[in-house]
Amino acid sequence: MILKELLAQKNPIKEQTFSRFFKTGKGQYGEGDLFLGISVPEIRRIALKYKDLSLEENNKLLSNKYHECRLVALMILVYQYRHGDNKKKKQIFDFYLKNTKHINNWDLVDLSAYHIVGNYLLNRDRKILYKLAKSKNLWERRISIISTYVFIKNKENKDTFKIAEILINDKHDLIHKACGWMLRESGKAVSEKDLLVFLEKHSGKMPRTMLRYAIEKFKEPKRQYFLHKKNN
């Protein structure tokens, strides 16, 4: 039923726009991904309508070839996790990690990882994040750093810095952006002093994109200081 409703919303014009935006061409990070052209607000509406979808049915949706089907599946999981008891949260956490191969674009990661993985690990051992950070899978590496966003929101930053350190030599621009984003948020929400210490140590070897994202909210003299360190 949910798949039928999604297919009925197909928009060929937006489909082409989304395909270009999410880099689905040969050799690009989203190579082969297929879109229906459905907006995020509409995706949220459908997800809420089917919020009680079973994990068995969710599994079918999450493995669907269409991007929006996977996004709806993840939004349903986020809703169920948020409103579930401890047993349900564990079930969804395990299900999520078992299906990372289907969480295969940056928006899918960013709209789900910290809500589920990060939240579940808030008061638990976080070694799984370090395993993900060393994965060969681009999206698992992004999950590892984005999941720390919930720690930042809870005034913790150690894991963000440690994982960013692991990923500092990553070759992919989407990891550079994610790390820079989390570093910036850590400086804003937890401690700018801690971020400055990290940057003093690592800014010279950080990818330029990661550095620019991390220092984006600094005043210009401080931004220029770290950009100069990078150039020298």
Say if 1-120 and 124-232 have the same CATH topology: no
Separation of alpha carbons 147 and 129, rounded Å: 8
Query: What is the pLDDT averaged over residues 85-91?
Result: 98
Domain regions of the chain by residue span: 1-120, 124-232
Which residue bears the tokens 């913790």?
156
Res. 230: pLDDT tops 80: no
Separation of alpha carbons 162 and 158, rounded Å: 6
Fold of 1-120: Leucine-rich Repeat Variant (1.25.10)
Res. 163: pLDDT tops 90: yes
Query: What is the per-residue pLDDT across 24-39, written as a single tens digit (0 to 9) for each?
Result: 999 999 999 999 999 9
Res. 232: pLDDT tops 80: no
Query: What is the per-residue pLDDT across 167-211, written as a single tens digit (0 to 9) for each?
Result: 999 999 999 999 999 999 999 999 999 999 999 999 989 999 999
Q: Are 204 and 230 in contact (CB under 8 A)?
A: yes
Query: What is the pLDDT averaged over residues 50-61?
Result: 96
Mention the CATH class of domain 124-232.
Answer: mainly alpha
Beta bridge partners of 66: 34
Question: What is the predicted pLDDT for the residue at 228?
Answer: 83
How is the chain split among helix, strand and coil, in percent rounded to 5? 70, 0, 30
Res. 231: pLDDT tops 80: no
Beta bridge partners of 34: 66
Res. 229: pLDDT tops 90: no
Question: What is the predicted pLDDT for the residue at 1?
Answer: 86
- Counting residues of the chain whose pLDDT is more than 70, the rounded percentage is 99
- Nearest Cα residue to 79 out of 106, 103, 112: 112
Asked whether the whole model's pTM tops 0.75, one would answer yes
Query: What is the per-residue pLDDT across 97-111, written as a single tens digit (0 to 9) for each?
Result: 999 999 999 999 999
